[in-house]
Structure 1
Amino acid sequence: MNENYYKISLLSETEGGQMIKEIFVTDSKIIAEKFGKRHSDVLRDIAGILKRNPELVNDFHKSFYMSIQNRKLPIYKITTMGKKRLTSRYEYGQRSPRLERSFGDWMGKFFGNSYFIEKQKKIGSYRLDFFFPEINLIVEYDEKEHVYKTEADRSRQSYISKYFHKRGIAPTWIRVKEDKEIEGIKEILLAINTLTNGNVLTYIS
């Protein structure tokens, strides 16, 4: 089976009383073969994506297939959006986590002496890249692969904002794009200047 099969494959299922139709363009086995990965590792990566981004559940449909040993094994059927989300992870490799850590280290040099910067703060099933709890400033570092995650990012930000609003907090959001780190630091400085009533210089000692 190859991706040409999925171009005409349509799945219909009932969920919450509604009929959902999703066109799947590939599956986890095809992705594993294309990128030279073990299928079990691809299954693990998809599970991780769904754990961090539950709103993508309709882009990865868990199913089963029969192996040549006649064993029933798991497989995911994947939509176009799901494919972009998963393959971007492999195309960019391990570059993204390193870039995020590098930016976090850089940001710490500017603000770490005066502010506690909480990394990977857990909010529900999501995590914030960087959070300044004293002034409720959220900084998200967007690698180039985020171009494939626009809808997911909107849903994620909406959920997190509602979480804070229920607690009487209106957080300030800053999104720093890869290759725009200097502009991002400037934007953070301006935000701190606003949130601290002009005391920005005291935070870059």
Structure 2
Amino acid sequence: MGPLARAGVIAVGAVVVSAAAIGGGLWAARDDPDRPHPGDVHTAAPGCGDLGELIDEHLPGAVNDLAGTGPLTGGESTVCRWTSAGTSDTSRQGVLRVEYSALFTDPTAEEPVAGEDRARRAGAALAPAAAETVDLAAGEGLVWSGGSGGTELAFPADNLLVRISYTAVTGGEPVSPDEGRATAVAFAERIGAEL
């Protein structure tokens, strides 16, 4: 075999090996838990959206000072924060933080775990034993008192887990637990309606 024929055989061999490696990688990635699967309603975490009049009502003068999306083990997450602390001269100052976690189906487990099951379990794991169940238009959620007099609320929507943290003070005093709960529920209803 001459040098030209040998070079041709080597080139063809390199192409075949490369194609096999790419094909093998694609085949192996089909069961990747970090990718959405056909049964997952939410294939990505949503953006921050517009909470307009609710922000104006509960945190007058608040600005959206954080909006970021990134990877999450087995999914994707978006974190949004609105704050009126130091941005407004109104008597009510506070912070609203919303986190969206799109949790994808995990086909690598012995028994595949659906994304919606992962979202429901993650929400239950966040909540302390004292959390209360709350009925929302989007389904059932859990609400509890967070640190520093704040309120936390988490609810699943298909394979998406939504977590809301709300803390506010009026005239230097934390809002009452009942008001904090009602406000967190109002934000949850608005967000749930947009999903």
Q: Fold-level match, TM-score > 0.5?
A: no
Name the larger-Rg structure: 2
Task: Point out the structure with the larger helix share.
Answer: 1
Structure of greater relative contact order (alpha carbons < 8 Å, 6+ residues apart):
2
- More strand per residue: 2
TM-score by length of 2: 0.32
What TM-score comes out, normalization by structure 1 length?
0.31
